[in-house]
Structure 1
Amino acid sequence: MKKKFICVLIIMIILLSSTTYGAEDFSQETRAVLLGDFESGEIFYEYNIDAQIEIASLTKLMTYLLAMEHVDSGKVSLDDIVTISHTASRTPGSSLKLREGEELTLRTLLDSIMIVSANDSCIAIAEHISGSADAFTKLMNDKAQEIGLANTVYLNPNGYPLKNGVQNMMTTRELFELSRYVISKYPQILETTKINKMLMPSRGYDRDNTNPLLSLISNVDGLKTGFTDEAGYCLISTVEIKEDENNTKPFRLIGIVMGTKTEEIRKNVSKELLEYGLENYSYKQILNKDTSIKKIDILNAKISKVDIYPQKDLNLLVKKGEIIKQEIKLEKFLKAPLKAGDKVGQVHVLDKGGESYIIDLHTKVSVQKISLFDRIYNYFQSKKES
């Protein structure tokens, strides 16, 4: 009886000490949640992702994007010296502690908005590129429409609330699409967002990266935090999954957690969201172009069984326990002779989401037609064996 009581007590302690978030329920104490694949855009988990909500400093992804596009076009350079205006130096909220008249490179200002979420740097960048924050904000909204972010509204370049309390708005789905767009176009952003600390000894500046997951999960390298009273605590996190024995192709997860009440909840939900993805999703090699998928009989062939192969490899991102269906469809009236590489059919692969992948099948060797002599020989051999 005593042993039974101890076992029950241990189980209760484990349950009480474990996280309050269910394995597939991250909606508690959040306004919206999304987990998806960077490359394909497939969404693995979603909660309230089409509601238009405040985005706080997640705004800075668009500020970064526009600045980098102006660098690409040659209109500005990362080495440009930016003179800090009175307006920029008076910007409230998280900051690089810019001083009026101070001179910094555009590169440094861009680093600061992604590492320490510097609001003042956003204004300095906007003024350098467009002359004013308002003119730059118009470019932000134009860019949002250009790339299909129909529910996005920017009021300023940094996400800080206006005096009347209104602020920049997006849906979580659009934040996911914007994140994918920025990383695709400027992957170097991840070299910046994984830096743990922004150190500027000459200015007496020393601030940690605002992303709480950098030190908690291996290979987390981005992306952006945000907070206002209305938006709550927000985080877009990114993690790279390397190729290994359990994963046949590198890929990247993007997790988005919006509107938690505390930094601790934001950190815990974001951590569990990424860990759920890491534990449950991986690339599996469904087809290997060098591995025979089946042996088939070919009419009039000299050999009785012929190996057929997929024309190319197929790796699919699958959830643990997901069943991938395959169906082989051979060409009608297949007969020898065949040359190496001749198409003999197709394999249709169907994933759980209903997406179909069609890969041609071929032989890797020539298949000769059976001769009359071989037919006679085979006939007598079969009689002899029987």
Structure 2
Amino acid sequence: MKKLICFLLITCLFCGTVVFASEGEAVKTAQTPQEAVGGVTVTAKSAVLMDGITGKILYEKNPHDKMAPASVTKIMTMLLVMEAIENGSLKMTDMVTASANAVSMGGTQIYLEDGEQMTVHDLMKSTAVASANDAAMALAEHVGGSEEGFVMMMNNKAAELGMKDTTFINPTGLDAKGHVTSAYDIALMSKALLQKKGITDFTKIWMDSVRDGKFTLANTNKLVRFYKGCTGLKTGTTDGAGSCVSATATRGDMDLISVVMGCASGKERFNDARRLLDYGFSHFVMYKTAISKNALKPVKVIGGVKPTVTVDTEVLDKIIIPAGKEKKVEENVTIVPDLQAPVVKGQKLGEVALCIDGETLATFPIKAHESIDKMSFVNAFKMLMMKLWCI
């Protein structure tokens, strides 16, 4: 018997067994050959790990497969509500009246009654924490005027964000023919939602209540309680979608977005999301760039009404790079020595490239800060008159 146990233990060690912990415990992952070179594996049909600051993809598996997203859809619903609050057309204290349509949603809900009124704040809390379909629909109808009007807003926003794999049919994520998105697109809208001030006040809640404490809310995202630095964001489960989650976390100056879709169970969903986040935090760091636009000198203009043109660049303060490579980053500036007039504002004059071992991590264009006309007889005469007038 002892020999058999020893044999099984040795076999597990050499096969790189992965042990999934129960909720609330750390996940211990043995090194497989793929992971040893920096890779990571997940059980999800589709997955993406994105840097929440720059949008850089750190891991992907079938990132553009179009799949049912279940209640992860509500990320877009909450984004549009937050934008309405941001532009002043909606307030957290506004009262929303539940319609018969909202009440009829079924699935996860807070059991709104037809005609019941609740604040935007409490409906948002119910949507973010408990994934309540009736609360999400009530918000959608209030902001969009109708479900159809809000769905149009959802698809317009998706197009604006570059979500090319997405078509929304409803604001809840309940299974519907043609209601699809991708892991990549979910990461895009998650990044957009996280930029809204105050959203994590909802998405980080573990337990709360509405109706003066009479109805308890428990977060469907277990990582909020059990994963260090978790900031949200949204789970989803339906027969058509399987188990999905967009899990976000912040540690130090790093923000990561882990999206997994089509998992066989909620446990696998959270383990996959956790593995991706662990991978991101252990394999990458934020690098502070040294180049600033103030360090870039003006460029000589030949035949212009001005001898030089000032330049602009939008080099990010920080970018994400592989851990341990901080000292290998090269910041290369390429810019034209001079150029012929006319110069158009925004005209590209060069670029800043950040590289490691010959691989380009990121590039940032250097552009003309202003327009400069070509010198002509008329321009020369005007300049002469201005100079004489000033004298």
Partner of residue 83, structure 2: 69
Partner of residue 63, structure 2: 49
Aligned length: 310
Identity over aligned residues, as a percent? Answer: 30
One-letter amino acid matched to 2:258: G
Partner of residue 304, structure 1: none
Partner of residue 18, structure 1: 19
Determine whether 1:268 maps to 2:271.
yes
One-letter amino acid matched to 1:355: L
User: Per-residue deviation at 1:117?
Assistant: 0.7
State whether residues 330 and 356 of structure 2, in contact with CA within 8 Å, keep that contact through their aligned partners in structure 1.
no
Determine whether 1:351 maps to 2:356.
yes
Find the aligned partners of 1:315 and 1:125 in 2 and give their Cα distance.
36
User: Per-residue deviation at 1:69?
Assistant: 2.0
Partner of residue 196, structure 1: 206
67-76 vs 37-46, greater mean Cα deviation: 67-76
One-letter amino acid matched to 1:354: T
- TM-score, with normalisation over the residues of structure 2? 0.70
Find the aligned partners of 2:329 and 2:361 in 1 and give their Cα distance.
11
Deviation string 1:196-232 (CA, Å, 9 cap, x unpaired) is 0131364631131011212222111111111111111
Partner of residue 257, structure 2: 254
Determine whether 1:177 maps to 2:195.
no
State whether residues 227 and 274 of structure 2, in contact with CA within 8 Å, keep that contact through their aligned partners in structure 1.
yes
24-33 vs 252-261, greater mean Cα deviation: 24-33
21-30 vs 208-217, greater mean Cα deviation: 21-30
Give 1:107-118 correspondences, 5 Å limit.
Answer: 107-118=121-132
Which residue, out of 263, 278, 283, partners 1:280? Answer: 283
State whether residues 288 and 313 of structure 1, in contact with CA within 8 Å, keep that contact through their aligned partners in structure 2.
no
Determine whether 1:241 maps to 2:275.
no
State whether residues 92 and 120 of structure 1, in contact with CA within 8 Å, keep that contact through their aligned partners in structure 2.
yes
One-letter amino acid matched to 2:355: L
Deviation string 1:93-126 (CA, Å, 9 cap, x unpaired) is 1111111222110111112111111110111112
Find the aligned partners of 1:110 and 1:9 in 2 and give their Cα distance.
51
One-letter amino acid matched to 2:234: K
User: Per-residue deviation at 1:283?
Assistant: 2.4
Q: Secondary structure at the match of 2:232?
A: strand
User: Per-residue deviation at 1:325?
Assistant: 4.9
- TM-score, with normalisation over the residues of structure 1? 0.71
Find the aligned partners of 2:226 and 2:277 in 1 and give their Cα distance.
11
Partner of residue 341, structure 2: none
Q: Secondary structure at the match of 1:57?
A: helix
CA 266–348 in structure 1, closer or farther in 2 if over 3 Å, else same: closer
Structure 2, unpaired ranges of 5+ = 21-28, 293-314, 334-351, 365-391
State whether residues 324 and 349 of structure 1, in contact with CA within 8 Å, keep that contact through their aligned partners in structure 2.
no
CA 350–196 in structure 1, closer or farther in 2 if over 3 Å, else same: same
CA 316–80 in structure 1, closer or farther in 2 if over 3 Å, else same: closer
Measured on the aligned residues, the alpha-carbon RMSD in Å equals: 3.5
CA 73–316 in structure 1, closer or farther in 2 if over 3 Å, else same: closer
Partner of residue 229, structure 2: 219
Structure 1, unpaired ranges of 5+ = 243-249, 290-311, 330-346, 359-386
User: Per-residue deviation at 1:160?
Assistant: 0.7
Determine whether 1:156 maps to 2:170.
yes
Q: Secondary structure at the match of 2:286?
A: strand
State whether residues 56 and 167 of structure 1, in contact with CA within 8 Å, keep that contact through their aligned partners in structure 2.
no
State whether residues 248 and 258 of structure 2, in contact with CA within 8 Å, keep that contact through their aligned partners in structure 1.
yes
One-letter amino acid matched to 2:328: I
Partner of residue 328, structure 2: 324
Q: Give the structure with higher Rg (CA).
A: 1
CA 127–349 in structure 1, closer or farther in 2 if over 3 Å, else same: closer
Find the aligned partners of 2:129 and 2:101 in 1 and give their Cα distance.
22
CA 171–356 in structure 1, closer or farther in 2 if over 3 Å, else same: closer
User: Per-residue deviation at 1:354?
Assistant: 1.3
Q: Secondary structure at the match of 2:360?
A: coil
